[in-house]
Amino acid sequence: MLEIKNLRASLEEEDKEILKGVNLSVGAGEVHAIMGPNGSGKSTLSYVLSGKGGYEVTEGAATLNGVDLLAMEAEERAAAGLFLAFQYPVEIPGVGNMTFLRTAVNAQRKARGQEEMDAATFLKEVRAKAKELKIDAEMLKRPVNMGFSGGEKKRNEILQMAMLEPKMCILDETDSGLDVDAMKLVSDGVNALRAPDRGFLVITHYQRLLDHIVPDVVHIMANGRIIKSGGADLALEVEHNGYADILAEVA
């Protein structure tokens, strides 16, 4: 599914290398978690994979189901099945949540050569999925993320994920700014989307999200590289001892 080989990337403006040779392989149906101290390159990895501007890939490769992600525009990567749930979803006044989501769904369908979803079918589906995620129908009428609480923004991300049905989902610190109840709701939403043909890359600081979304593999990232990988226990180890021991181990 997602194959990352020796990925190196720099911040264009500062000419500063952030990713220093990332190797990662996420198979279909698997959930991988990436943990690591601040500044280790976790968010940069998610941005580089999803095609955000401002980064220059200097070496390496990233493919999704054999398709070269790095050769594509951001929207083409989305159509190829990549989804990034943002740590801080942006607010866009004047653009209706539903209008945006329907445009996105149909743009992706069009890119894949599928028929566009008509308004009635879209409405029915989005309402059903919003209900599962306990998203108020009134919220759907608002402009994108405008006036949403932190929890509402994250639920809106999961709603988008549910509607777009991606193959590979990257969750960038989805737990930040969530209280316990919101975390449970968001995690339930993610778990409901787990499928044999879908992979997840969950970026997080804390073990607590992984109590709800149990990963198959946990990676520790530091200084732009994956320095250690293991099972779900690795996250518990980090929770108890911090990163210091692991960093010392590989130093």
Binding site for another protein (CB under 8 A): 50-54, 73-75, 77-79, 83-84, 86, 89-90, 92-95, 100-101, 103-105, 107-108, 111, 143, 160, 164
Rounded Cα distance between 168 and 6, Å, is 19
| Shortest separation between residue 179's beta carbon and another protein, angstroms | 24
156, 97 Cβ separation under 8 angstroms: yes
168-172 and 16-26 strand pairing: unpaired
* Of 163, 97, 157, residue with least CA distance to 128: 163
Task: Specify the residue, 202 or 238, whose C-beta has the smaller distance to another protein.
Answer: 202
Task: Specify the residue, 86 or 200, whose C-beta has the smaller distance to another protein.
Answer: 86
Task: Specify the residue, 78 or 186, whose C-beta has the smaller distance to another protein.
Answer: 78
| Residues forming a β-bridge with 218 | 33, 230
Rounded Cα distance between 198 and 204, Å, is 19
Rg of the chain over all Cα atoms, to the nearest angstrom: 18
Task: Specify the residue, 75 or 181, whose C-beta has the smaller distance to another protein.
Answer: 75
User: Which positions ≥6 away from 141 have C-beta within 8 Å?
Assistant: 96, 97, 98
| Shortest separation between residue 223's beta carbon and another protein, angstroms | 26
Tokens of 52: 């955000």
| Shortest separation between residue 190's beta carbon and another protein, angstroms | 17
| Shortest separation between residue 116's beta carbon and another protein, angstroms | 12
Rounded Cα distance between 105 and 165, Å, is 9
Task: Specify the residue, 162 or 235, whose C-beta has the smaller distance to another protein.
Answer: 162
Angle of the 180-193 helix axis to the 150-164 helix axis, nearest 10: 0
Task: Specify the residue, 166 or 224, whose C-beta has the smaller distance to another protein.
Answer: 166
| Shortest separation between residue 206's beta carbon and another protein, angstroms | 25
Rounded Cα distance between 152 and 178, Å, is 9
| Shortest separation between residue 251's beta carbon and another protein, angstroms | 35
In the block, residue with structure tokens 């777009």:
164
